[in-house]
Structure 1
Amino acid sequence: MCPLVSNMSELEDVSHHIHDRISSVHRMLDLSVVELPQRKKLGQEFVALEKLLEEFERCVGRQKEQLKQLKELEETFQKDLEDVQHLKENIPAHMPRKKGPANGGEPVLTQKEAADVQPAQSENVKKTNKSVVREIEVITLPEYESIPPYMKGRVSYHQLNAAVQSINTAVTAKYKILRQSAKTLNNQARKLHQRFKDQETKDTKGQYFVVDDDIREFTQMKADKRFQGILNMLRHCQRLRELRGGGITRYMLL
C-alpha cells in the first residue's frame, strides 16, 4: 500500500477513536450529574482521549512530512519534464547516425531485418544497393571541440553540420545524374553528366567526390573563403581529402 494512503487510513482511524471517546465523555458528563461513580470512569476517558490526541498529532506530523516530500518530488518531476520538452524542441537538425560501410556497398541491417530477407530477394537487394550514395557523416560535438580555435573561427557546430548536409545534397544530386543513361536526360542534365565524367580520373574510380561547381549548382552555399575554412575543418575531422589535377580540386569523401 502507498505510504500516503496508509497514513491517511491511520489518521482516519485515530479520528474515529477520538470521536468515539468524545461521545463517551459527553455521555459520562451527563450521567455524572446524578451518578457519582461515573466520575472515576470519566477521568479514565480523559486520559485515553489525551493519548489519542497525541497520536493524532503524530499522524498529522507524518502526513505533513510526506506532503513536503511529495511537493519536492513534484518539483523535481516538473523540472525533468521541462528539460525533456526543451530537448524535444531543440533536437539538432543533424544528429550523428550510423552509416553503411565505407565503400558505399551493402547497407547495415538489424538482426530482425536480416532475418526477414529471403534468399529469393538477393538480386533485388543487390540492385537496391547500387543506388546507395555515400554521404559525409555529421560532425560530433567532441570532434567539433577538437578542432583548433584558429581553424574554427566563427563557424558554430550547427553551421558546420549544415555545411555537411549541403555537401551531401550536392553529392546525392550529382550521382543521381551520373547513374542515369545520358539518353534519358534533358540537355542541361546531359551537359552535367558529361562534365562529371570528364572530371573523373583513375584515382577517383569507385570514389565519391564533388567540386566547387557542384556546390554552386546544387546548393545555396557559396564556394568562398568561409567555405574553404569549413573544408579545412572537415579535412581535420577526416571527412574529406583533396585531390588536385587538371586545374580542378576534387573533394573526396572519406
Structure 2
Amino acid sequence: MAEPLKVFSVLCTYFHKVHTFRKKMSDLESISQHIYDRVSSIQCLLDLSDVPQNKMRSLGQEILSLESLLEEFEKSVGRQKDQFHHLKELEELFQKHVESLQHLKDNVPAHMPKENGPEIEKEPSTNHGQATNVEPIQHEVAKYIKCYVREMEFITMAEFECIPQYMKGRVSYSQINAAVQSINTAVAAKYKIIRQPVKTLKNHARKLLQRFKDQETKDTKGQYFVVEEDLREFTQMKMDKRLQGIFNMLRHCQRLRELRGGGVTRYVLL
C-alpha cells in the first residue's frame, strides 16, 4: 500500500513542476513580446532621428496642411448636405405648385369674365393734315350702339369669398356664375327682339315685344333689365328660393338692383 502512495506523490510533484514551468514560459513569452515592441519603437525613433531637422519641419507642415484640407472638406460636405436638403424642400414646394396649377387647368370655370365689346379706334389723319370724314366713324358708332347689349360681369373668387356665409348658404362659386350667364342670355335674347323691326317678328315675338314695352317705365329708360318671365322664357332657371338667394348675392356684389312697380320686379343690370 505504501508503494502506490509514494508513486502518486512523485507524480504530483512532477505535474506541479511541469505546470510551474509552463507558467514561467508564458510569462517569458509576454515579456519577450513587450521587449520586442519596445525595441521596435526605439528602432523607429532612431530611424526618425536620422532625418534632417528641416525635413522633419517640412513633414510637420505637410501634416498640418493635410489636416486643414480635411477640415475644409468636412465643412464643404456639410454645406452640400444643407444645400441638398434645401433643394429637396424646393422640389416638394415646386411639385405642390405644379399640382395646384394642373388642378386649376383641369377645373377652369365654364364662364369667365370678358370684355364688353370691341374698342372703336379713330381713323388716322391724312398726310395733308386735313380732317377726315367723320361720317364712316359715326356710322360704325351707330352700328356698334345698335348691336351692343350690356352684360353682367361674372363674380370673381375674391368677391365670392367676401359674401357673408348666411347669404351664400350652399350656393357654390360655379353656380352663381352659371346664374350670371343665364341672366346675360335672357338679356341678350330680350333686347335682340326689341331691336328687330316689327315686320320681321313672328306672332309670339310680337307679343313678347309688347310685354317688354309695357314693363318699361321712366326709371328704366336707358337701362337693361329682365323680369322673372324673361328668365322663364329664355332660360331654364327655376324661380325658387335658391334663385332669390342668388339675386341677393348679386345685389351684394353690385351686379344688379331691383326696381319694383306695377306688380313686377325688374332686375336692372348695373
TM-score of Structure 1 vs Structure 2, range by shorter chain:
0.5 to 0.7
> TM-score, normalised on structure 2?
0.60
CA radius of gyration, larger in: 2
Q: Deviations for 1:54-88, whole angstroms, at most 9, x for unmatched residues?
A: 43333333322222222222222222333333334
Aligned to 2:183: 167
Pairs within 5 Å for 1:162-241: 162-238=178-254, 239-241=256-258
Q: CA deviation at 1:221?
A: 0.3
Aligned to 1:16: none
Q: Deviations for 1:112-140, whole angstroms, at most 9, x for unmatched residues?
A: xx7x5326563213421332212223345
8 Å contact from structure 1 (residues 216, 222) kept in 2: yes
Q: CA deviation at 1:224?
A: 2.6
Aligned to 2:137: 122
Aligned-partner Cα distance in 2 for 1:203–1:53 = 88
The one-letter amino acid of 1:190's match is: R
User: 1:58–1:75: structure 2 CA closer, same or farther, 3 Å change rule?
Assistant: same
User: 1:227–1:49: structure 2 CA closer, same or farther, 3 Å change rule?
Assistant: closer
Equivalenced residues, count: 207
Q: CA RMSD in A?
A: 3.6
Aligned to 2:9: none
Aligned-partner Cα distance in 2 for 1:248–1:94 = 29
Q: CA deviation at 1:181?
A: 1.0
SS of the residue 1:195 aligns to = helix
Structure 1 gaps of 5+ residues are 1-31, 101-106
User: 1:71–1:235: structure 2 CA closer, same or farther, 3 Å change rule?
Assistant: closer
Aligned-partner Cα distance in 1 for 2:266–2:257 = 10
> TM-score, normalised on structure 1?
0.64
8 Å contact from structure 1 (residues 170, 219) kept in 2: yes
Q: Deviations for 1:163-191, whole angstroms, at most 9, x for unmatched residues?
A: 22211110111111211112223443333
The one-letter amino acid of 1:118's match is: E
Q: CA deviation at 1:93?
A: 4.3
Q: Does 1:242 align with 2:259?
A: yes
Structure 2 gaps of 5+ residues are 1-46, 125-133
Q: CA deviation at 1:219?
A: 0.9
